Amino acid sequence: MLNVQTGRPSVFPFVAIVGQEQMKLALTLIAVYPAIGGLLIRGQKGTAKSTAVRGLAELLPGDDGENSKHFVDLPLGATEDMVVGTIDFEAAIRYGESRFLPGLLHRAHGGILYVDEVNLLDDHLVDCILDAAESGVNRVEREGLRVQHPSRFALIGSMNPEEGELRPQLLDRFGLAIQVSAEDSADNRVQLVRQRERFDRINGAFVASYHPQTEALAQRIASARKRVQQVKVPSYLLGFISEICRSNNVAGHRADISIERAARAHAAWLGNDQVSAEDIQQVAPMALLHRARQGTPPDLPPPPPPPEDDLEQDHPEEQNENQPDRDSEPPEPQSNDDGQDRGEQQQAQGDRQESRPAPAPEKPRDRTADEHDGEVWEIGQPFRVRSLTSEKDHKLRTGSGRRSRSRCSNKHGRYVRSTTLRRNNDLALDATLRAAAPFQLVRRKTSAPSLAVHIRESDIREKIRERRMGNVLLFTVDGSGSMGAQKRMVETKAAIMSLLVDAYQKRDRVALTVFRGCEAEVVLPPTNSIELSSKLLAQMPIGGRTPLSAGLCRTAELIEQVRRKDPLSRPIVLLLTDGKANAAIGDKPAHIEALEIAVQMQGRYPFTRFIVVDTEPPGAVRLKLAQKLAVALGADYFEPQTLRAQQLIDLVKENY
């Protein structure tokens, strides 16, 4: 019964996976109780994330194995119509019927929908999936169809955070989240490699050798599945759950619900009829990892002691929706030794989960003798930047990336409307059929009778789609001597570095212009190579006067150059300066000249978004010259601190 799906290679058995206990537990809980609401697995590459998830598929109770209905794989290349469902092409052309062809959301109903690399999925697809996941219903209003069908599924996503983060809104939608990393112990690694090599050698036999264990696990999941509905949560523990959420400053009530459900699944998995404090302590970190405020490891208060009179007492009316009033049952912060211990253990685990490879500590380098030409400052600690996009327009672009919304001419993106222009073989069937409809009677007499609908070249309509794309980011950086004061360059470089990391994740192209001394120079022409620009950034020296106008002129040339190459591109200019100018090109005072040029640039390049990042150090006397420059450019004005994406701002910004 295992592995009958057509064309699939044998899957590495779930039970043969070495280590990764938390991931295995979390997946098991989802299998036991899909209503937990999905699982997000975050981790480095090569940590058996997808192997485990696909292994899990084999454990799910399928109907007959054929086309395992309970596990649906959503490939990154999936088109929107295949996800939500679309008009049935065959039925339309053959029989002239407008029939609904169900999509992946229909197939996933009652089972699990798996998205590998979920952070790379197109935003509009994510929205469709979330809508369905939230409401349990998939509503289709497209191509002349109006259909709705139930679509309740557990969403499992896996991702590597290096490639970009998920929107917080989406994060919250996952019931549980875990962080996986490679096994540290050599013993486990050896064991793992040995398993893998055996699997590669005797594929089928290897899978078969684990068959008894796999069957046993599947049985255990199946019986836990039956039991989970009956598992009860004693009322004193409901207060414990909300206390956990409250002490971790979790927004909203989803965490409470996830913990409650996951704890019930855990109890059912252990064969119990009632949730214990241990169950909650086991699952709470998974519900908090992605919801707690960044940087704070999940912190578990000690569990309350059970009420003395009754352990067996049922509270059937409270087990599900009824969240008790948050303040009504404050758990006594009593030091139950055992519980305390566990709490600490969890916390330690949390600590480890949060740790990431730390970037180099910020420390300005001392001036060395050989750097006669300028000083080189190190890069400060990078941070996550707020979202910067260019405005939406109606131009058609090819390309990819994830920054600004745009019309696009490859087959990605949301279908917004149709056109008669034939550009890329992206058939809009509904529009095509509508165009062909009036002529059917006439054509039926003349062409092949086997088809219900006769379509001519002239009927064909194509889809116009819209999606996010990367931009060209032009960094123009003040490299004058004044930037060396008070570590400002360290902070400025940190800001640029953060913007570069963001640019990588949104797949932008970047260019770097530096102005100092008596001229401005493009040290890096527009390139995809963000690591190259970061290398340049690290080595960028500073010193000399501030030729702000020269910097602006050079940037203007770059804008022209970028537009010549791609007339539709919308560059984003990031100007990092304190706005002080002391070297002019012409005869006017330097700062007046710079402002004049800025005004001209704003008028000349309406398609360009300007952003000024003020590098003037915070202090008593601030000249705020950069702010004036920003006004002249029509630019958005930031200080390095405001550039940081605080979570709240982020939430607002990213939810449009």
Partner 1 sequence: MQTPFENRIYPFAAIVGQEKMKSGLILNIVNPAISGVLIRGEKGTAKSTAVRALADLLPEIAVVDGCPFQCDPDDPDHLCALCKERIAKNERLERKTRKVCVVELPLSATEDRVVGTLNLEHALKQGERKIEPGILAAAHRGILYVDEVNLLDDHVVDVLLDSAAMGVNTIEREGISFCHQSRFTLVGTMNPEEGELRPQLQDRFGLCVHIEGLNDAKDRVQIIKRRAAFEADPEGFWQQWKKSSEEIAERIGRAIDRYWAIEDDEQILYAIAYRSIEAGVDGHRSDIVMLKAAKVLAALDDRGRMTLDDVAKAAELVLPHRMRRLPFESIGPAKQQPIPTSPRG
Q: Does residue 208 belong to the site contacting partner 1 (CB under 8 A)? A: no
428 touches partner 1 (CB under 8 A): no
Q: Are 520 and 575 in contact (CB under 8 A)?
A: no
* Least distance CB 370 / partner 1 (angstroms): 13
Least gap, CB of 191 to partner 1 (angstroms): 9
Closest distance of CB 186 from partner 1, Å: 4
- Shortest CA distance to 111 belongs to which of 177, 147, 63, 78? 63
Among 94, 226, 293, 395, binds partner 1 (CB under 8 A): 94
Q: How far is the CB of 32 from partner 1 (least distance, A)?
A: 25
Provide the 10 A C-beta neighbour count for residue 126.
Answer: 19
Please identify which residue in 145, 270, 536, 585 interacts with partner 1, judged by CB under 8 A.
Answer: 536
Antiparallel, parallel or unpaired: β 39-43 and 137-142: unpaired
Binding flag, residue 258, partner 1 (CB under 8 A): no
> What is each CA distance from 226 to 223, 264, 298, 463, 555, in whole angstroms?
5, 12, 31, 47, 66
Residue 75 interacting with partner 1 (CB under 8 A): yes
Yes or no: say if 285 and 350 are a contact pair by the CB < 8 Å rule.
yes
* Residue 182 interacting with partner 1 (CB under 8 A): yes
Kindly state whether residue 201 participates in binding partner 1, applying the rule CB under 8 A. yes
Applying CB under 8 A, among 360, 437, 485, 649 the residue interacting with partner 1 is 360
Structure token digits, residue 563? 């537009």
User: Count residues contacting partner 1 (CB under 8 A)?
Assistant: 95
- Check binding of 539 to partner 1 (CB under 8 A): yes
- Of 148-156, 224-232, 295-303, 450-458: span binding partner 1 (CB under 8 A): 450-458
Q: Is 200 in the site for partner 1 (CB under 8 A)?
A: yes
Nearer to partner 1, 10 or 247 (CB): 10
Q: Measured from the CB atom, is 160 or 347 closer to partner 1? A: 160
b/e 92-106 (16+ beta carbons within 10 angstroms → b): bbeeeeeebbbbbbb
* Strand locations in 310-378 (E): 375-376
Choosing from 254, 434, 444, 545, the catalytic residue is 254
**406 contacts partner 1 (rule: CB under 8 A):** no
CB atoms within 10 A of CB 128: 21
Give the pair of three-digit tokens for residue 93.
């052309």
Shortest Cβ distance from residue 395 to partner 1 (Å)?
A: 19
Which of 56-64, 319-327, 345-353, 539-547 is the region at the interface with partner 1 (rule: CB under 8 A)?
539-547
Q: How far apart are the first and last CA of the chain?
A: 46
Q: How far apart are CA 235 and CA 227, in angstroms?
A: 19
- Using the rule CB under 8 A, give the single segment among 356-364, 480-488, 622-630, 639-647 that binds partner 1: 356-364
SS3 of 603-628: HHCCCCEEEEEECCCCCCCCCCHHHH
Do 87 and 144 touch, CB atoms closer than 8 A? yes
Q: Does 631 bind partner 1 (CB under 8 A)?
A: no
Burial of 328 (0-12, 13-18, 19+ CB in 10 A): exposed
Q: Which one of 15, 31, 93, 218 is in contact with partner 1 (CB under 8 A)?
A: 93
CB nearer partner 1, residue 152 or residue 196: 196
Please report, as residue ranges, which positions from 119 to 178 form the binding site for partner 1 (by CB under 8 A). 120, 160, 162-163
For residue 149, list its beta bridge partners.
Answer: 138
Strands (E), 545-620: 572-577, 609-614
Using the rule CB under 8 A, which residue among 30, 83, 129, 575 binds partner 1? Answer: 83
Per rule CB under 8 A, is residue 66 in the interface with partner 1?
no
Among 193, 205, 216, 437, binds partner 1 (CB under 8 A): 193
- Measured over the CA atoms of residue 34, residue 38, residue 40 and residue 45, the dihedral's sign is positive
Q: Which one, 77 or 603, has the nearer CB to partner 1?
A: 77
Handedness of CA 498, 502, 504, 510 (dihedral sign): negative
**494/640 Cα distance (integer angstroms):** 9
Instruction: Tell which residue, 616, 600, 488, 588, has the closest CA to residue 555.
Output: 600
Of 573, 471, 567, 483, nearest in space to 522 by CA:
573
Instruction: Give, as ranges, the residues between 99 and 128 that touch partner 1 (CB under 8 A).
Output: 101, 104, 116-117, 120
- Cβ pair 323, 256 in contact under 8 A: yes
Edge-to-edge strand list for the sheet holding 509-516:
519-527, 509-516, 472-478, 572-577, 609-614, 636-638
Under rule CB under 8 A, residue 45 binds partner 1: yes
Beta-bridge mates of residue 527? 510
Q: Check residue 530 for interaction with partner 1 (CB under 8 A).
A: yes
For residue 519, state whether it binds partner 1 (rule: CB under 8 A). Answer: yes
373 counts as binding partner 1 under rule CB under 8 A: yes
- Window 374-393: residues binding partner 1 (CB under 8 A): 374, 382
Of these, 76, 137, 205, 437, which contacts partner 1 (CB under 8 A)? 76
Per CB under 8 A, the list member of 63, 64, 310, 357 interacting with partner 1 is 357
The verdict on 184 binding partner 1 (CB under 8 A) reads yes
Q: Does 517 bind partner 1 (CB under 8 A)?
A: yes
Rounded distance between C-alpha atoms, residue 231 and residue 21, angstroms: 23
Residues 6-35 that bind partner 1 (CB under 8 A): 6-10
Instruction: Indicate the pairing of strand 375-376 with strand 176-180.
Output: unpaired
Task: Calculate Rg over the CA atoms of the chain.
Answer: 30
The nearest distance, CB 429 to partner 1, in angstroms, is 8
Least gap, CB of 433 to partner 1 (angstroms) = 11
**Is 254 annotated in the active site?**
yes
For residue 54, state whether it binds partner 1 (rule: CB under 8 A). Answer: yes
| Of positions 150, 324, 364, 401, contacts partner 1 by CB under 8 A | 401
Which residues are identified as catalytic?
A: 254
